Structure 1
Amino acid sequence: MKKVAFHTLGCKVNSVETEQLIEAFLQKDYEIVPFEEIADIYVVNTCTVTHVSDRKSRAVIRRAIKRNPDAIVAAVGCLAQTNSKQLADIEGIDLVVGNRDKEDLPSILENHNFQKGLPVIFDERIKNSDLLKTVIYSRQHEKTRAFIKIQDGCQSFCSYCIVPQARGPVRSKTPEKVVEEVNQLVTLGYKEIVLTGIHTGTYGIDLKEENLSSLLLYILDQVKGEYRIRLSSLEPLELDDRLLDIVAGHQKICRHLHIPLQSGSNRILSLMNRRYTREYYQSLINKITRKIPGVAVAADIMVGFPGEDKQDFFDTRNLLENLPLHSLHVFKYSPRPGTKAALMKPQVEAREKTARSESLLKLAAAKKSSFINDMLGQKLTVLVQEHISPDLYLGLSDNYIEIQFHSPHNMIGSFVQISPERIENQQVIGQIID
């Protein structure tokens, strides 16, 4: 039995696609081993969202080649799609497969004879007609949570972003296929299903009369059993009143929304091609928190975009200070070849990017602490995920708070009502409510 090892870089969608590849290899009787072990095949699922991602991807590939020079080493994913030559030039690599073909990796491996020094490349451009297939799941990879990729691709073309080139146009999985996958996962025992995609809120724009709201209602109607749904990142302009009403009105949908802001400066938002204003974003977040009590709202923030001056950063920080947010994900701008922003002037100095990032990370910690303090004494629905010690468990609330609590019973995979009581060493401690 051949051994195959995987390493994933980048976003949740990449992680989902690695899990799908693992399923495909298991169904062909391969043995899955940790990446640190000797394997016959190493698969590196690459990322290219920043230059650091590129560098990390290359480093992991070289590590695999060094670990077993006789193994087949395959680089797949976003960097393989956008710059296959960069990867093919790595000495010892055997196979480079872009996003269009990576789900066919087991067949590609079986149908090619590889020679060291002559890497095989699959980097064909992604098309609108490339359909998303249903995934057949055979086992639980985790105890409680699973992810379903409901769409792929993006055609927004934010000026800083390489993702449209890496992922192609929007393609949505049909509602019937999504429901089939949710049913499989619930039957296998998963209790939380995360609906994810490259641009999740555009789900259905390539399907007749479908959108994310109609998909959620279809899942809730068709899938029975004990489970909940969590939504991944959604753009501000895609959160309409119908979608918010569905989240607010159904207990099976988590009170957790990840809504990228990127900048609190209208001038920078325009240069980014983000199509909304700081005023729109502020109004949206305030409406969400009024409509959905206890909701956790996370925001992505980019610092150091070309031309971002001190006033632009002040506008961003000022807006964030006044928003009821659960958490902030802070990123430093990284030029991506082939994007408009890479040619913009002036580029912000690295030292200034770091200072702005550190400032917002401190604010992020304060925001999270404030949100948790507001939840102390509340009743939260918690999915138990981890057994820490004989009677100590760790769970995740629907509004994305990790809580430790004590119980003499086996609680893994159960939904329990917990009241968070205090914070000790940055960990929330709670108690089961009878």
Structure 2
Amino acid sequence: MSSSAVGHVISLGCRLNLAESETIRTLIASNDVVVINSCAVTNEAVRQTRKAIRRARRERPAAQLVVTGCAAQMDPAGFTAMPEVDRVVGNAEKLLPASWTSHAPALVQDIMAVRQTAPHLAASFSAHARAFVEVQNGCDHRCTFCAIPFGRGNSRSVPAGAVVDRIAALVDAGHREIVLTGVDLTSYGPDLPGAPTLGLLIERILTRTKVERLRLSSLDGIEIDDRLFALLTQEQRMLPHVHLSLQAGDDLILKRMKRRHSRGQSVALVERLKRARPEIAIGADIIAGFPTEAEAHAANTRALIDDCDIVHAHIFPYSPRAGTPAARMPQLPPATITARAAALRASAARRRAAWLDAQRGTVQRVLVERPGDRGHAGNFAEVRLPPHEVGTIATVKIERAQDGKLIGMPA
């Protein structure tokens, strides 16, 4: 980030934030402002947000510095008090043009009072080969470890017509891969007239647009109905990559997390997916060191890596979030949490390495990303390849795996 740059947005956290950051970038235009679009999924995420704020102030001492996103929504007073911060803008306000012409030091409303969401989406995603489209926001569930509903509010969906129009415009602008995003993506629809489902939305997108590649962000496996399952396994424009919000692999811990699925249901779902479409790659979010977790519980979660063939694992060391039920449960020593996270990452790395090695000799269609010598295959494996034009789809034959990536040459 150069000292002469203007209108800079630093996006932390999830793909939904990334999608919203594109809209913010459009709204701030060329104003001399730096926006930190923050994350609050863990205490570490909040720490990284504060670190990004301090770094941005050092690098842009004369710019207006605005903090928004989940961390700002949940603790507006704390961020307003930081000497580096000029303004704090809430999650609902950050997508409104008036928020970026206001001089109020804090614009943060009660997120639980927000009842609608709209396709506040940028005209294009010029900095990214793929485009992210928000179709849902908020969450009605209350997992005991999670504070995100307090940052995002209750579940609300974008009307299908608005989603289709936005995707059609993005495809016309040259985007060949679209990622549907949301806080609880599989809860899409019940708040809309006729209560459409995520599967119905996807069918409408595929029927009414020319999108070539459609990818989904994190899914709650218990909510994958027959229509969505059929799309994931039979529709070739749906990419063979399913990321599941699993969180743990032990039934007692899942119950204490207030998750709605069992270990057996997760394993059975993955087995069904792989039988129907063997090339599907499974990703998952997993928490290490949840309160009360004994070694036997941790071992069950480690085994889930293999039992669910998880090759894109996101491992989160548990951190107590203020106001959540899990924060009041008996906590594990930090050293134990760190060790269990490391053990999970080691298991995940072994599984991923074996999967990458098995990709040798396969032919993959890779969406080329900046700077033109890398990209992701449909199964979300990162591929290094000879230089291509960014945004094109290259057909490559995988020669080998190296340093956690695939090396491909023109097929």
TM-score range, shorter chain: over 0.9
Partner of 1:414: 392
- Cα shift at 1:66: 4.4
- Answer whether contact 1:48 1:79 (CA < 8 A) is retained: yes
SS of the aligned residue for 2:7 comes to strand
Determine which of 56, 73, 80 is the counterpart of 2:65. Answer: 73
Structure 1 residue 125, shift from structure 2 partner: 3.0
2:22 corresponds, among 19, 24, 34, to 19
| Aligned equivalent of 1:44, options 36, 45, 49 | 36
Residues 17-60 of structure 1: CA distance to partner in whole angstroms, max 9, x if unpaired?
1111112233xxx25xxxxxxxx322111111111222222232
Alignment map for 1:296-311 (pairs within 5 Å)? 296-311=281-296
- Matches of 2:116 and 2:57 in 1, distance apart? 32
Structure 1's unaligned 5+ residue stretches are 32-39
**Residues 73/405 of structure 1: CA separation in 2 closer, same or farther (3 Å cut):** closer
Matched-pair contact (CA < 8 Å) for 2:282–2:308: no
**2:407 matches 1:429:** yes
Is the 1:62–1:90 contact (alpha carbons within 8 Å) kept by the matching residues of 2?
Answer: no
Residue 383 (str. 1) matches residue 375 (str. 2): no
Say whether the 8 Å CA contact 2:91–2:151 is kept in structure 1: yes
Which residue does the alignment assign to 2:225? 240
| In 2: Cα distance, 1:414 partner to 1:246 partner | 24
Q: Distance in 2 between matches of 1:425 and 1:71?
A: 39
Task: Output the CA distance in 2 between the equivalents of 1:321 and 1:424.
Answer: 21
- Cα pair 1:136 1:181 within 8 Å, conserved: no
SS in 2 for 1:23: helix
Choose the corresponding residue for 2:349, options 350, 360, 365.
365
Alignment of 1:263-278 (within 5 A): 263-278=248-263
Aligned with 2:137 (options 152, 157, 180): 152
- Secondary structure at the aligned position of 1:384 is classed as strand
The CA distance in 1 between the partners of 2:128 and 2:247, in whole Å, is 33
C-alpha distance in 2 between matches for 1:205 and 1:378 = 41
Among 220, 241, 246, the alignment partner of 2:206 is: 220
Question: Which TM-score applies when normalising by structure 2?
Answer: 0.93
In the alignment, what sits opposite 1:122? 108
* Structure 2: segments with no counterpart, 5+ residues: none
Over residues 274-306 of structure 1, what are the superposed CA-to-partner deviations in whole Å (9 max), with x where a residue is unaligned?
011111111111111111120000111101110
Q: What letter matches 1:108 in structure 2?
A: S
Letter in 2 for 1:266: D
1:107 maps to 98
Residues 210 and 396 of structure 1, relative CA distance in 2, 3 Å threshold: same
What is the identity, as a one-letter code, of the residue corresponding to 1:351?
A
Deviates more, 1:158-167 or 1:322-331: 322-331
Alignment of 1:124-139 (within 5 A): 124-137=110-123, 139=124
CA contact (8 A) 1:160 1:336 kept: yes
Distance 2:403 2:60 in 1: 42
1:255 & 1:320 partners in 2: Cα distance?
18
Deviation readout 1:221-280 (Å, 9 max, x if unpaired): 1112x6210111001111222211112222111000000211111110000000111111
Contact 2:266 2:308 (C-alpha < 8 Å) held by counterparts? no
Q: CA deviation at 1:128?
A: 4.7
When residues 63 and 413 of structure 1 are mapped into structure 2, their CA distance, relative to the original with a 3 A threshold, is: closer
For 1:143 and 1:263, the matched residues in 2 are separated by 32
Deviation of the 1:136 alpha carbon: 4.7
Shift in alpha-carbon separation, 1:8–1:406, aligned structure 2, 3 A? closer
Is this contact kept in 1: 2:356–2:404, CA < 8 A? no
The whole-number CA distance in structure 1 between the counterparts of 2:409 and 2:324 is 50
Offset at residue 179 of structure 1 (A): 0.7
- In 2, Cα distance between equivalents of 1:61 and 1:143: 23
Taking only aligned residues, the RMSD between alpha carbons, in angstroms, comes to: 2.1
Residue 349 (structure 1) shift: 0.8
In 1, Cα distance between the equivalents of 2:156 and 2:126?
A: 26
Deviation of residue 379 (structure 1)?
A: 2.8
Q: Which residue of 2 aligns with 1:94?
A: 86
Contact (CA 8 Å) 1:330, 1:357: kept in 2 or not?
yes
Identity fraction in percent? 33
- Secondary structure in structure 2 of the residue aligned to 1:44: strand
Structure with bigger gyration radius: 1
1:211 aligns with 2:203: no
TM-score normalised by the chain length of structure 1:
0.88
Contact 1:421-1:428 at 8 Å conserved across structures:
yes
Partners of 1:18 and 1:387 lie apart in 2 by: 21
How far is the alpha carbon of 1:126 from its aligned partner? 3.5
SS in 2 for 1:195: strand
Distance 1:349 1:196, change over 3 A: same
2:7 matched to which residue of 1? 4
User: Within 1, Cα distance between the matches of 2:12 and 2:66?
Assistant: 14
Q: Which residue of 1 aligns with 2:318?
A: 333
Q: Secondary structure at the match of 1:160?
A: coil
